[in-house]
Amino acid sequence: MNDFVFHNPDKVYFGRGQIEHLPEELLKYGRKVLLVYGGGSIKQNGIYDTVARLLQTSGIEMFELAGVEPNPRYTTANKGAAICKQENIDVILAVGGGSVIDCAKGVAAAAMTASGDVWELVSNRVWVTEALPVVAVLTNAATGSEMDTWAVISNQDTNEKIGLGGSALIPKAAFENPEYSFSLPTYQTACGAFDIFNHVLDNYYLAGDATFDMVLEFQEAVMRTVVKWAPMAMRQPDSYEARANLMWASSMALNTVLDGGTVHGCACHAMEHELSAYYDITHGHGLAIVTPRWLKYILDSTTAPAIYRLGVKVFGIEEGLEVVKGAEKAIDAVSDFCFNTLGLTATLSELGIDDKHFKDMAEHACFGGSISGPKTLTPSDVEAIYRMCL
Ligand code: NZQ
Ligand code: ZN
């Protein structure tokens, strides 16, 4: 068990009627708000109207940055930063999923720099300690961006997708109304659910010191929650219970409550971000394809006990099996969850991806070194895992 610091200042308003508190949270920072949103889903499901009404009746002046892409581009964040500078924006309001919230964080950070260019911060791996305040209204249970320090920004020209981190990027407040995710398409529900699952798995003790039992049990509870409620949310999109369980699981998975004493390897995330960077695929789908192959690749006598434990605790696999056999059953259960329960296609080939860029992608995923975690992965390991996904 390692030493750690826990500090998450995000104030979460969870539930149906909480949006009424939005103006009071925004007004803590000023009257000029930049509303950031995506391709229009918030106009179709009525959230835009609700937010606009609340701002208008509270005397808040609203500016807009619309059209944030899934896998948000740095160029879009830079447009937002330019508006902030020109209009002296006080606070950024992100209404959407992870892409919108991440873009808003990019805007918030870039607005404080002389150049207004978020890519300068991203490419120099700057830890952001100064940014405009961000308030988030979450519409997709997935990334945890509503409560975490990260924003993942893409540069399509260079095929790069990189995390921008910083204490200043944690939203000041997050509004989580499960009803706001009722309108999510089934595919996005599945992808978001697996993203949550993998945020925990990428941080789970798959090898080594597993003495912090409380954190393990919490992690397993969050993964079990996803396994239980994602199928219900897909079958019945307006199930409040299902959406609420997934939404809070999304926040818990990355708000660092589950980090206590663990070592973040993020192997699957490092590998997936290259897939999205090169092929602009949906993050959770890429993770679902990579994760079972990664587990197979790292399975040996040191990782088998923990992988088997995952199978027992999260998927209800029987106890008392020979440990490697048990771990293999656990990996089969993860595959079954991804490709049958969530219905995601199982191979990169089905997404039109071949091995053309695997070598470069593997180098990038290792950031010029290797990926740490239960098994250290070198670029040749990563390339081998990509090949298993074809
Ligand atoms: O463009 P809009 O209109 O917003 O539509 C979106 C988009 O088409 C739609 N959507 C979202 N909420 C909806 C809805 N449609 C109908 N009803 C709703 N209630 O769903 C599509 C996908 O949205 P997006 O925001 O891209 O999905 P997600 O929340 O999964 O975010 C993915 C991005 O977050 C990054 C990913 O890499 C990816 O770029 N991540 C961010 C992390 C972080 N900040 O900590 C960590 C994650 O590991 C992840 O890397
Ligand atoms: Zn993720």
In this prediction, residue 209 carries a pLDDT of 63
- The residues placing their C-beta within 5 Å of ligand 2, an ion, are 195
Q: Where are the beta strands (DSSP E) in 242-381?
A: none
Is the shortest distance between the CB of 183 and ligand 1 below 6 Å? yes
In this prediction, residue 210 carries a pLDDT of 66
Dist. CA 25 → ligand 1 center (Å): 23
Report the alpha-carbon distance of residue 246 to residue 14 in Å, rounded.
Answer: 12
Is the shortest distance between the CB of 254 and ligand 1 below 6 Å? yes
Pocket test for ligand 1, best of 10, 138, 143 (most atoms within 8 A of CB): 143
Is the shortest distance between the CB of 285 and ligand 1 below 6 Å? no
pLDDT in tens, the chain (390 residues): 678 888 999 999 999 999 999 999 999 999 999 999 999 999 999 999 999 999 999 999 999 999 999 999 999 999 999 999 999 999 999 999 999 999 999 999 999 999 999 999 999 999 999 999 999 999 999 999 999 999 999 999 999 999 999 999 999 999 999 999 999 999 999 999 999 999 999 988 776 666 778 889 999 999 999 999 999 999 999 999 999 999 999 999 999 998 876 666 799 999 999 999 999 999 999 999 999 999 999 999 999 999 999 999 999 999 999 999 999 999 999 999 999 999 999 999 999 999 999 999 999 999 989 998 889 999 999 999 999 999
In this prediction, residue 263 carries a pLDDT of 65
Specify the CATH class of 184-388 in words.
Answer: mainly alpha
Report the alpha-carbon distance of residue 12 to residue 365 in Å, rounded.
Answer: 33
In this prediction, residue 2 carries a pLDDT of 75
Report the alpha-carbon distance of residue 340 to residue 357 in Å, rounded.
Answer: 28
For 169-198, letters b (16+ CB in 10 Å) and e give bbbbbbbbbbbbbbbbeeebbbbbbbbbbb
Report the alpha-carbon distance of residue 303 to residue 65 in Å, rounded.
Answer: 46
Report the alpha-carbon distance of residue 79 to residue 107 in Å, rounded.
Answer: 8
The domains of the chain are located at 11-180, 184-388
Q: Which atom of ligand 1 is nearest to the CA of 105?
A: 44
In this prediction, residue 206 carries a pLDDT of 76
Ligand nearest to the CA of 247: 1
Is the shortest distance between the CB of 106 and ligand 1 below 6 Å? no
In this prediction, residue 264 carries a pLDDT of 62
Dist. CA 284 → ligand 2 center (Å): 7
Beta-bridge mates of residue 36:
65, 94
Report the alpha-carbon distance of residue 209 to residue 45 in Å, rounded.
Answer: 47
Is the shortest distance between the CB of 140 and ligand 1 below 6 Å? yes
pLDDT digit string (tens) for 372-390?
888 999 999 999 999 999 9
Q: Which atom of ligand 1 is nearest to the CA of 41?
A: 3
Is the shortest distance between the CB of 171 and ligand 1 below 6 Å? no
Q: Where are the beta strands (DSSP E) in 197-254?
A: none
Specify the CATH class of 11-180 in words.
Answer: alpha beta
Residue closest via CA to ligand 1's atom 49 equals 143
* Phi and psi at residue 304, to the nearest 5°: -55, -45
In this prediction, residue 285 carries a pLDDT of 98
Ligand nearest to the CA of 150: 1
pLDDT digit string (tens) for 206-215?
766 667 788 8
Q: Which atom of ligand 1 is nearest to the CA of 154?
A: 39
